[in-house]
């Protein structure tokens, strides 16, 4: 067995041990396990049963993480992405009026498109077209979007009831049990995060849920284990094309593809640097394999109704614990598959318990704005607009569109038109048409 592991993953060659890989894989799972409950809470608002979402989430995360480890030999884990799930529930369903199966049809189409782009090499061309400032702003905007969803789910921020158009939002009832549960979870999550405790978000969710059970704000579980419910597999529809129109459907797919793409590239490069996997030129060997698996994971997420799956930055926790090969990903994936049998717990966890995880993840993602050069105004202003338009309009697509158009306009006004990638003109024109039609 040791000889086979060495041939398959190169554990000793990577300067690691089987024990270290197992520990690293388990650490990554503990750090990521919150997605099992948070994804159900988010997609539950789109009408999907949380217990079924948990089963599908565990299945996709487990299968695609194992595929990532075997195909790429990197300790990268995969799961339904935070941000894309928010786009499904908060934008495609709540704003654009799609049904949950139709929204998942958008994810399937996005997964197919991004897989084809990887296979023909276009994905790298898109990366070259979008300036780094907008890439970072997309990730940060998604983080702010998640934070706002968390604050609203926790009851701390509510729709304004005041007269006139302002204010739009206001402080919720901080004396209510719902807000108390959220605040306790948030304090625990932040405290454990700053102390770099493994599984901080999962511990916070568990603590807030325990409080909710103790004060009668959550129902006790009917059972601790159950048979996995695969009812969501294949429950998607391409009816979104007729409902949104050809251009609207194309832009919905394109917007999700951009978010998915830049999240993956930034995550993979960051993990590569953390693990010392990058070559002398700063590129990740076997990058094409990573992108292929990641793209297929996006497709799998749509097919299973979990939203697009992607490579997780939380994989850095396992790398920090010594994981250096794909064996760690196999361990992480196996633990996700085992988690399919704890679906009854998903119905117990209230939205305000998982809300704290959304706020903390949003905080961590919004840190990407620190990488924007704020002295370069033609780059900084579009990045700022991208980041704030996403949460304020409850739409990732709107943020990307406004940012791209602003970048083209401001770079032109600054006399730096030659720095605009030709492909970016096409993207800006497509978004301008989208806004005009809307």
pLDDT means over runs of 10, the chain (438 residues): 78 88 86 85 89 93 97 95 84 89 95 90 71 82 84 90 81 92 94 84 86 89 82 94 90 80 73 81 82 94 95 82 91 94 74 83 84 93 93 81 94 94 87 76
Quick one: pLDDT at residue 5?
79
Supply the pTM of this predicted model: 0.72
Quick one: pLDDT at residue 436?
80
Quick one: pLDDT at residue 268?
81
The pLDDT tens digits for 286-332 are 888 999 999 999 999 999 999 999 998 788 878 877 889 999 999 99
Quick one: pLDDT at residue 127?
62
* Three-class SS of the chain: CHHHHHHHHCCCCCCCCHHHHHHHHHHHHHHHCCHHHHHHHHHHCCCCCHHHHHHHHHHHHHHHHHHHHHHHCCCCCEEECCCHHHHHHHHHHCCCCCCHHHHHHHHHHHHHHHHHHHHHCHHHHHHHHCCHHHHHHHHHHHHHHHHHHHHHHCCCEEECCCCCCCCCEEECCCCCHHHHHHHHHHHHHHHHHHCCCCCHHHHHHHHHHHHHHHCCCCCCCCCCCCCCCCCCCCCCCCCHHHHHHHHHHHHHHHHHHHHHHHHHHHHHHHHHHHHCCCCCCCCCCCHHHHHHHHHHHHHHHHHCCCCCEEECCCHHHHHHCCCCCHHHHHHHHHHHHHHHHHHHHHHCCCHHHHHHHHHHHHHHHHHHHHHCCCCCHHHHHHHHHHHHHHHHHCCHHHHHHHHHHHHHHHHHHCCCHHHCCHHHHHHHHHHHHHHHHC
The pLDDT tens digits for 249-268 are 988 888 788 777 767 776 78
Quick one: pLDDT at residue 69?
96
């Amino acid at each position: 067995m040791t000889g086979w592991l060495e041939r398959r993953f190169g554990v000793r060659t990577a300067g690691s041990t089987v024990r270290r890989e197992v520990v690293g894989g388990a650490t990554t799972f503990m750090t990521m396990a919150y997605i099992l409950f948070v994804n159900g809470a988010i997609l539950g608002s789109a009408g999907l049963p949380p217990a079924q979402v948990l089963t599908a989430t565990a299945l996709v995360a487990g299968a695609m993480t194992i595929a990532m480890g075997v195909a790429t030999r990197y300790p990268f884990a995969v799961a339904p992405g935070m941000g894309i799930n928010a786009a499904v529930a908060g934008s495609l369903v709540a704003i654009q009026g799609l049904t949950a199966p139709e929204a998942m049809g958008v994810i399937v189409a996005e997964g197919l498109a991004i897989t084809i782009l990887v296979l023909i090499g276009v994905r790298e061309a898109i990366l070259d077209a979008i300036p780094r400032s907008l890439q970072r702003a997309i990730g940060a905007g998604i983080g702010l979007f998640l934070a706002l969803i968390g604050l609203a789910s926790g009851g701390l921020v509510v729709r304004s009831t005041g007269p006139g158009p302002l204010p739009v939002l206001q402080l919720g009832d901080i004396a209510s049990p719902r807000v108390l549960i959220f605040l306790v979870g948030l304090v625990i999550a932040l405290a454990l995060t700053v102390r770099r405790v493994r599984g901080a978000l999962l511990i916070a969710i568990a603590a807030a849920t325990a409080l909710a059970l103790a004060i009668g704000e959550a129902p006790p579980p009917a059972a601790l284990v159950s048979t996995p419910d695969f009812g969501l597999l294949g429950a998607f529809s391409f009816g979104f094309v007729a409902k949104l129109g050809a251009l609207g459907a194309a832009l919905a797919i394109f917007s999700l593809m951009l978010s998915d793409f830049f999240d993956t590239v930034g995550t993979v490069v960051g993990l590569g640097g953390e693990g010392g996997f990058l070559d002398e030129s700063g590129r990740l060997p076997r990058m094409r394999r990573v992108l292929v698996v990641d793209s297929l994971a996006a497709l799998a997420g749509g097919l299973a109704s979990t939203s697009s799956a992607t490579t997780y930055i939380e994989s850095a926790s396992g790398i920090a614990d010594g994981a250096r090969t794909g064996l760690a990903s196999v361990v992480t994936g196996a633990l996700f598959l085992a988690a399919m049998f704890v679906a009854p717990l998903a119905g117990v966890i209230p939205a305000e318990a998982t809300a704290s995880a959304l706020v903390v993840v949003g905080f961590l993602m919004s840190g990407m704005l620190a990488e924007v050069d704020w002295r370069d105004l033609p780059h900084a202003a579009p990045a700022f607009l991208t980041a704030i338009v996403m949460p304020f309009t409850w739409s990732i697509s709107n943020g990307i569109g406004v940012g791209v158009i602003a970048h083209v306009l401001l770079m032109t006004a600054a006399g730096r038109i030659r720095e605009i990638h030709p492909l970016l003109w096409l993207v800006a024109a497509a978004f301008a048409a989208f806004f005009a039609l809307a």
